[in-house]
Every structure is written in structure tokens, then in C-alpha cells.
Amino acid sequence: MQSLQSSEKSHPSQTTEAWFVILLFVFVTLILFAAGEIGSKILGVLFPLGAFVVGWFLYFRYPIIYIGFVWWLFFLVAFVRRIADFRLGAFTDSSPILLAPFLAILVCGHTLYFNLPKVREQGTSAFILALSSVFYGYCIGIIKGNPLIASVRVLEWIAPLLFGYHLYVNWHRYPEYSRNFKKVFLWGALVMGIYGIYQFLVAPEWDRLWLISSGLLSSAGKPVPLGIRVWSTLNSPGPFGDFMATGLMILLSCRSGLVAPAAAVGSLSFLLSIVRTAWIGWFLGMVSLLTSLPVKLKFRLVLTVTVLALIVVPLGTIEPFSTTISTRLESLTDLSNDGSAKDRQFAFTLLFNDAIREFIGRGIGGFDTDSAFLVLMIELGWIGAVPYVLGLAACIFAVFSFKIKNDDIFLPVTHAVLVKSLFFLLAGPTMRGAHGIILWGFIGIALAGKKYYQVTGKNIKS
């Protein structure tokens, strides 16, 4: 397996070049922030373009760092957008800055092109099936709708699939990928958790500007200290809850002095997001994790969770946090009065008949709502939705049909993350966009781990 090791591991000193490029990208962003209105206008073009260029460079030269770069773009891009709007002095309704992480992932199209002839050999037909559905929906969107809107919206559909496909095809890098995932989400939970608590206590001006101008006052809280439903550096509470739930589960597989502080601030900000779907999804993921681990690892998991609870629970029971958290927790037992759930149910009932009659579909960009089923059926039609669902189902089956027989706790954690992500599909079209990156990204890394242990024969108890 020596030949399968990446150049990064063989020549760690050369990563200085990668960090220089990344820091240059950050430095240019900060300079444009400092330039005020004109800098923010330039950043609207330069940030997504720069993300693509840096992603291209890292993809070919530093493939492990590339994965971390993509994750950090998703962690921070919405925050960059809000700062840019604040420096501009006005809210940008459709900010091109938000395209940055999706453009960075488009580089993975090279992985698809290079490996497409090897579909049967590599066992990637499920990904190709789902990708063909997205391509079909895009073509219909161009024909029936606005080509520009379809071209922008297709990025939300295709990027998660490309990212997951890239991780799976490069299964031989699974040990490095898993270390990278753990390091990235450890620091991500710490940074997003700290900022989330700051956001709740202070309500910074750039966050208030976004909250008022975006029209999300009913779902993201009030633009005042102690009134915000935390979304930290993400774009809204929902995606933040998804990312933080993922990070908190990954922390259980990490060994670092930063785990405790990251878990403390991450858990508190996670509770302050007031996203019940994320709370329930995290709980289901934890149940899945606990039932799948060997006895030795179960004991370690229970011990870790107990220690973290001793840190987090006291923080959540003191003001100004306790009132916000306890009120939302109480609502879990009164879902009959949940206004958002009623709205989703009403929309589903109203559009269900239209959805099941969509044979061809309206195309990507032709419809949007808070229902995965309605979006799939109306945008892709029966022709596109059936192969997409079959591809997703085949991937999920392949992941959960593999039994863990070693001490690699990260792999069962990826399964737990997928349980949480599948639950999210009940609340919205989370197979695309930022949510979709988690769903398909963790499908990719889970399948990579499965293939790695099958090929190397290391799936045995140590």
C-alpha cells in the first residue's frame, strides 16, 4: 500500500506552499473588507473566483488539504457574505459570494471524468445514477425555465454528489481523510461554537442587517442580544444545526485537548440554535452509534458523553441561556402547536397531487419548497426522481450493510451522521446545498472506509 500514500504524507514540509496560497486568499479577502464599499463589490466576484482557483491548485497538489479547504468554505462563506454586505452598507439578495464552496467542489468534475470508464470496476454506479438524474433535471430546467437560474441552482444539486464521489473513488486515502475530517470538525466546532455564543449575547451589526433584510425574523429570532436563534457563521439556524450536530458526533472520535472546550461551546450554541430537527437528528445518530459499537468502544463513548454532559448541562441551566433553551425543549412535547410543521404539512397536502402527476418535471430551478419529496418530484419528475432515489438508497444500503469489526470509531460515527442526515430529509430538501454536502460527503467517506478495510483486510478486532 506504500504507493497509495499521498504526496502530502511523503513530503509534509511541502505543505507550506499550500498554506501560503490559502493565507494569501484570506489576506486578499481581509484587504477587500478593509476597502469598504468598493472592496465588497470586488469581493463579490473575486471571492468565488479565488475559491475556485485555490481549490483547483489544492485538488491537484494537496488533495487532503483540499478536502479541509472545502469544509471551511462551507463553515465560513455565509459569514464572509454578511461582512461584505455590512461593509457595502446594503443587503445583497443573491450574493455570488455564496457560490464559492460549490465552485471549489466543481474541480471534482476531473475525478468524474477520469474515472467514468471505470464505473463497474469501482462500484460507483449508484453515484452515476443520481448524477444522471441531476443532469436530466438541469436540461429540463434550461428548456422549460431560465437557463441562468437553472445553471446556478444545479450547483446545489451536483456539488454534493461530486464531493461524495470524489471521496469514495479515492478510498485508498481513507486514513488521511478521516484524520482530516476529525481535525477540521474539531476546529470548526470550536470556532462556530464560540462565535455562536457571541452572536447570541451581542447580536453583531452585520448579523442584525442580514436578519432584518433577509425576511427571516419569524424563523431566525429577533435582531437583539439574547433574541437571536443562533446560526453562527452559517446562513441560517437549520444548516448550522446540521453542521454542529455533525461536528459534535465527530468530536467523540477525536483525541485532543481541544475536544472538551469545543464540545462545551459547540453544544451550547447548538442548543441556542433552537433547531428541533437537529436535536432529534443528533439524538437518533447517537442511539445508532451506541448500538453499533463493540462493548469496549461503547464504554468509552458513554464515559465521554457523561463527562461532556457534566460540562454542558450547568452552562445550559444558567441565565441568559436557560430560558431560551428550556422553552424550546418544552415545545418538543407539544408538536401539535408547531406552526412551521403545520405550514409544511399544508404545503405538502396542497401540492401532493401535482407532484405525483409530474412525469417529465419542471426542471432544476423551476420549483422550491420545504419538502424533499415535492422538490424531487416536481423538479425532476418521475423520470429524474426515481433514479436519484434509487442511487441514494443503494449508497445508504451499501454503507449500513458493512459491520464494523475494529477499533476505528470514526467509521461508525459516519454512519451516525447519515442517520441524522436521513432524518433531516423529513424536514426539507436536504439532499442538496450545504445540507447535501454533509449527506453525500459522509456517504462518500463511509463507503471509502468500507472499501479500504475490505481491500486491506484490516477490518478485524485488534
pLDDT band for position 320 (50/70/90)? confident
Q: How far apart are CA 119 and CA 125, in angstroms?
A: 6
Highest-confidence range of 46-50, 86-90, 329-333, 355-359, by mean pLDDT? 46-50
258: exposed, middle or buried (C-beta count within 10 Å: 0-12, 13-18, 19+)? Answer: middle
Q: Who's near 390: CB < 8 A, 6+ residues apart?
A: 126, 129
Dihedral sign of CA atoms 176, 179, 182, 183 in order:
negative
Highest-confidence range of 20-34, 209-223, 282-296, by mean pLDDT? 20-34
Asked if the model's pLDDT at residue 302 lies above 90, the reply is no
What's the Cα-to-Cα distance from 12 to each of 17, 59, 177, 200, rounded to whole Å? Answer: 10, 16, 15, 40
C-alpha cell at 365: 430551478
pLDDT band for position 295 (50/70/90)? confident
Asked if the model's pLDDT at residue 246 lies above 90, the reply is yes
In this prediction the pTM is: 0.92
Max CA-CA distance within the chain? 60
More confident residue, 7 or 289: 289
More confident residue, 134 or 326: 134
CB-facing half-sphere around the CA of 416: CA atoms within 13 A: 29
* Mean pLDDT of the residues in the chain: 89
Average pLDDT over every residue of 79-91: 94
pLDDT band for position 7 (50/70/90)? very low
- Report residue 228: phi and psi, to 5°: -80, 140
Asked if the model's pLDDT at residue 277 lies above 80, the reply is yes
